[in-house]
Amino acid sequence: MKKLALHWQIMIGMIAGILFGFLMTQFSWGKELVMDWVKPFGSIFVNLLKLIAVPLVLASLIKGISDLKDISKFKLIGGRTIIIYITTTVIAITIGLVVVNIFKPGSGITPETVEKLTQEYAGNSTISTRIQTAVEHKDKGPLSFLVDMVPSNGIKAMSDNRQMLQVIFFAIFLGICMLLVKPEQAKPLKNFFDSLNEIVLKMVDLIMLTAPYAVFGLLANVIVSSDDPSILLALLKYAGVVMFGLFLMIIFYCIAVSLYTKKSAFWFLKQISPAQLLAFSTSSSAATLPVTMERVEEHIGVDKEVSSFVLPLGATINMDGTSLYQAIASVFIMQVLWPEGLFFSNQLTIVFTAILASIGAAAVPGTGMVMLVIVLEAVGFPSDKLPIALALIFAVDRPLDMLRTTINVTGDATVAMIVAKSVGKLGDPKVKNWDDNQ
Ligand code: ASP
């Protein structure tokens, strides 16, 4: 019998997890049961993915660069990647601003709803932590992101998944210097990283075998931890506008892929779907990165020279879904709480700060909210109303985080394909024997 494709297996795991979560909400002990006995399997899976992220980025980037015939190719790939990333981010923010201004989701929110949401969430500790993180971020100088990119201790950088940009910097530096010394001197190190890279990719395959069970645990947990449905209902229009904007972004990626790379958009979505489903289940593009890399290289056919640079960089600096969300959430909040601030120049400020915030933000759950505080402060939103602003969107943040992370990952894969095509590095898929999608 033909084995069910991986994305179907994951999808079944997700649906079963959602149904199980709903079933458990019917029992007084259900939430605890999920937290104690089901969620841990999801957490183990996320930990496993995070465990291999640094070795994978390091090995694959060093291999990718040291395989280059000359450094000028790297400059070309680097320059194009950054320009395309900024372009897709601007497009995402523009789509966000257009839909939020057309549909005005803020107009449906009554003062009673604001009151209810404020009472429910404004004192929430997560909200105060998010505001605090944003304040710390703001206190840094304008060039701090460049300084932060250069580690003073490479080993320390590798011990912290949040320092992916530092790991990327170290790997690029090492890889370039491997090209500059005599080939026989670089050979032993190159062989070491080539071998590490193959082995870590095999670890991804093994971890992915457990994905259908892990997403069951992750989604059952999301359901039992979610809020009162009547609150979610009040925010339905806002959530609908965000979803519509994210959907437009997917259409944009499909058009870009089929026009520029001449590959079918459906084929692209099918190949990348396991990474999308994991992004949705984990809300973290960083945790999804190993799977995104494996899918883009082996199932789409992007050469490692491109994917090893474009994807880890994208997971950190390119967050189209999050940027689109910033635009919608900030204008929505202003429509409800501060309509007098809604003028054109403030919307332009949103574009610029959302770009900068998405570059500096970490690819982990909930980052979008921290960035939102930065964006709101930049337009002069009264800081005493910030807790109310976040309370307004808090209830639907988790489901929207799941969706925007899916778009973030799809955007990175799209750009990897486009850059690869532009430098003649988009080949045929090279699925290995005994792979996860056979
Ligand atoms: N969770 C998102 C990511 O990892 C970031 C965010 O929008 O909160 O890409």
Percent of the chain having pLDDT more than 90?
A: 64
Site to probe by mutation for ligand 1, drawn from 405, 406, 410 as the one with most ligand atoms within 8 Å of Cβ, is: 405
Top-confidence range, 129-133, 283-287, 341-345, 355-359: 283-287
- Which ligand 1 atom is nearest residue 284's CA? 4
Site to probe by mutation for ligand 1, drawn from 322, 324, 374, 409 as the one with most ligand atoms within 8 Å of Cβ, is: 322
In 3D, which of 400, 353, 345, 392 has the Cα closest to residue 376? 353
pLDDT above 90 for 416? yes
| Exposure string over 37-68, b if 16+ CB within 10 A, otherwise e | ebbebbeebbebbbebbbbbbbbbbbbbbbbb
Distances (CA, A) of 389 to 149, 328, 338, 363: 31, 13, 10, 22
Task: Parse the chain into domains and list their residue ranges.
Answer: 6-422
CA–CA gap between residue 256 and residue 212 (Å, rounded):
30
Written out in words, the top-level CATH class of the domain with range 6-422 is mainly alpha
pLDDT computed for residue 437 by the predictor: 47
Task: Kindly state if the Cβ of 363 falls inside 6 Å of ligand 1.
Answer: yes
Task: Kindly state if the Cβ of 151 falls inside 6 Å of ligand 1.
Answer: no
Task: Kindly state if the Cβ of 326 falls inside 6 Å of ligand 1.
Answer: no
Instruction: Calculate how far, in angstroms, residue 361's C-alpha sits from the geometric centre of ligand 1.
Output: 9
What is the residue-wise DSSP string for 413-435?
Answer: HHHHHHHHHHTT-B----PPTT-
Mean pLDDT computed over 373-382: 90
The C-alpha angle 49, 57, 306, rounded to 5 degrees, equals 125
Confidence band for 435, pLDDT divided at 50, 70 and 90:
low
Task: Kindly state if the Cβ of 399 falls inside 6 Å of ligand 1.
Answer: no
Task: Kindly state if the Cβ of 408 falls inside 6 Å of ligand 1.
Answer: yes
Asked which of 86-100, 357-371, 402-416 is least confident by mean pLDDT, the reply is 357-371
pLDDT computed for residue 1 by the predictor: 52
- Which ligand 1 atom is nearest residue 315's CA? 9
Asked which of 127-141, 262-276, 417-431 is least confident by mean pLDDT, the reply is 127-141
Task: Kindly state if the Cβ of 164 falls inside 6 Å of ligand 1.
Answer: no
Mean pLDDT computed over 129-145: 74
Arithmetic mean of pLDDT over the chain: 90
pLDDT computed for residue 217 by the predictor: 96
Instruction: Calculate how far, in angstroms, residue 103's C-alpha sits from the geometric centre of ligand 1.
Output: 24
Q: How do residues 189-237 score in pLDDT, each as one tens digit?
A: 999 999 999 999 999 999 999 999 999 999 999 999 887 777 777 789 9
Q: Are 407 and 141 in contact (CB under 8 A)?
A: no
Task: Kindly state if the Cβ of 168 falls inside 6 Å of ligand 1.
Answer: no
Task: Kindly state if the Cβ of 320 falls inside 6 Å of ligand 1.
Answer: no
Q: How do residues 236-253 score in pLDDT, each as one tens digit?
A: 999 999 999 999 999 999
Provide the whole-model pTM.
0.90
pLDDT above 90 for 261? yes
Instruction: Calculate how far, in angstroms, residue 166's C-alpha sits from the geometric centre of ligand 1.
Output: 19
